[in-house]
């Protein structure tokens, strides 16, 4: 068995893959593959409706929040969010906490004014900024709830007198938070929701229609809401994979049940790293992520040796992002406690035999 710690696309539950396999051959007994059916057939329309309803249920969303499955990844949302929310003479505030916020800043500046309210760039983004105050004079405040590359996470939702917008690509559905406190949430599906190709957007519809620009219909959230997330051909298979993963999460007991497991996985791995003489974590303790554990070897020779060793032990996807180096183990919802324990035992075994 391979233990997959990939950052995204990432591990999927085995039962989700088995269900998907069936649907590729014969979708819901139709005799057609999920890859062949028309998106406007009741069989698929009910899948989209169920996926949207499951998101609403799992996140406990109120009636003002709409759930959409769109194309283009979280990266398209860096552009689509300001296009829908920010007029040219208005300001959005943003917490700059890594590579993804940098892209959000760049894209938003095409549409309006961007103010970097706080940043952790001075220390290679290894912490979450604390000393800032969100001004009332802004259109919205944007955060990246979990920084996939640097392994930091907002453990407290910041107070904001203006609408909160979050890129939750890498920690959505992983912990109990008040999702209704956000006016807009977006997430590429390939980390905690399903597979690449679908993007989840949750938006408070009261926020929409407040810009003067003429928004191209395909970029306009209101058009997607009206069309029940079927404005054009949606990413049919990717949405179906999201549905299967959402069903799996519900069966597991929802966010309430997965959160303690996610905490346990992260605590065990951080503990092993903290108690190791060969490895150390890169993120500030209070801010480290339960989803992406980034760590480095204290000795550069050990780095390659550990990667080779881990590979022999069926560990996949732990090479760190090039901007941080070292290692990163992504512990998304679908990654089992067993896999994490295996990784820990491999770390310990490597350490005891290492004399480089």
Ligand X SMILES: *Cc1c(COP(=O)(O)O)cnc(C)c1O
C-beta of 107: minimal distance to ligand X in Å? Answer: 11
For strand 184-188 and strand 199-204, is the pairing parallel, antiparallel, or unpaired?
Answer: antiparallel
* Residues 256 and 139 sit within 8 Å (Cβ to Cβ): no
- 29 burial type by CB count under 10 A (0-12 exposed, 13-18 middle, 19+ buried): exposed
Closest CB to ligand X among 270 and 332? 332
Binding mask 69-98 for ligand X (x = CB under 6 A): ----xxx-----------------------
285 is catalytic: no
Q: Which of 152, 189, 156, 149 is nearest to 266 (CA)?
A: 152
Out of 139, 154, 167, 265, the active site residue is 167
> Which among 58-66, 124-132, 166-174, 301-309 is the span making contact with ligand X, rule CB under 6 A?
166-174
Cα–Cα distances (Å) from 267 to 18, 117, 180, 301, 338, in that order, read 30, 31, 28, 27, 14
Q: Round to whole Å and give the CA distance between 203 and 205.
A: 6
Q: Round to whole Å and give the CA distance between 81 and 143.
A: 13
167 is catalytic: yes
304 is catalytic: no
User: With the CA atoms of 101, 102, 108 and 109 taken in that order, what torsion angle do they form, in degrees rounded to the nearest 10?
Assistant: 150
Closest CB to ligand X among 102 and 139? 102
The H or E element containing residue 65 is strand 65-70
Single residue of 167, 220, 259, 287 touching ligand X by CB under 6 A: 167
Residue list 183-202, contact with ligand X (CB under 6 A):
188, 191
Single residue of 47, 97, 119, 148 touching ligand X by CB under 6 A: 148
Beta bridge partners of 118: 95
Interface with ligand X, residue 170, by CB under 6 A: yes
Closest CB to ligand X among 174 and 276? 174
Interface with ligand X, residue 144, by CB under 6 A: yes
Single residue of 5, 27, 44, 100 touching ligand X by CB under 6 A: 100
C-beta of 103: minimal distance to ligand X in Å? Answer: 7
Residues acting as catalytic residues: 100, 167, 191
Binding site for ligand X (CB under 6 A): 8, 73-75, 100, 144, 148, 167, 169-170, 188, 191
């Amino acid at each position: 068995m391979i233990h997959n710690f990939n950052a995204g696309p990432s591990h999927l539950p085995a039962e989700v893959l088995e269900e998907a396999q069936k649907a590729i051959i014969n979708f819901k007994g139709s005799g057609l593959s999920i890859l062949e059916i028309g998106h406007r057939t009741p069989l698929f329309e009910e899948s989209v409706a169920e996926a949207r309803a499951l998101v609403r249920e799992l996140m406990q969303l109120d009636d003002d929040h709409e759930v959409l499955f769109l194309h283009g990844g979280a990266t398209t949302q860096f552009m689509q969010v300001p296009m829908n929310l920010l007029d040219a003479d208005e300001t959005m505030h943003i917490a700059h906490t890594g590579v993804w916020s940098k892209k959000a800043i760049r894209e938003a500046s095409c549409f309006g004014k961007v103010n970097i309210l706080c940043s952790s760039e001075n220390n290679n983004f290894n912490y979450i900024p604390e000393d800032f105050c969100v001004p009332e004079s802004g259109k919205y405040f944007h955060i990246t709830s979990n920084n996939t590359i640097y392994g930091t996470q907002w453990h407290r939702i910041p107070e904001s007198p203006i609408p909160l917008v979050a890129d939750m690509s890498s920690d959505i559905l992983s912990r109990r938070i008040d999702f209704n406190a956000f006016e807009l949430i977006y997430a590429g599906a390939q980390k905690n929701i399903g597979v690449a190709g679908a993007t989840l957007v949750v938006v408070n519809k009261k926020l929409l229609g407040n810009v003067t620009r003429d928004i191209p219909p395909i970029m306009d959230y209101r058009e997607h809401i009206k069309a029940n997330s079927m404005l054009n051909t949606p990413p049919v298979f990717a949405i179906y994979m999201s549905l299967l993963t959402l069903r799996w999460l519900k069966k597991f007991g929802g966010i309430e049940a997965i959160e303690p497991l996610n905490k346990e996985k992260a605590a065990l791995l951080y503990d092993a790293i903290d108690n190791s003489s060969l490895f150390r974590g890169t993120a500030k303790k209070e801010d480290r992520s339960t989803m992406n554990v980034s760590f480095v070897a204290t000795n550069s020779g050990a780095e390659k040796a550990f990667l080779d060793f881990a590979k022999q032990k069926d560990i996949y996807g732990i090479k760190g992002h090039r901007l941080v180096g070292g290692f990163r183990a992504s512990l998304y919802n679908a990654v089992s406690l067993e896999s994490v324990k295996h990784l820990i035992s491999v770390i310990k075994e490597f350490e005891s035999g290492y004399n480089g």
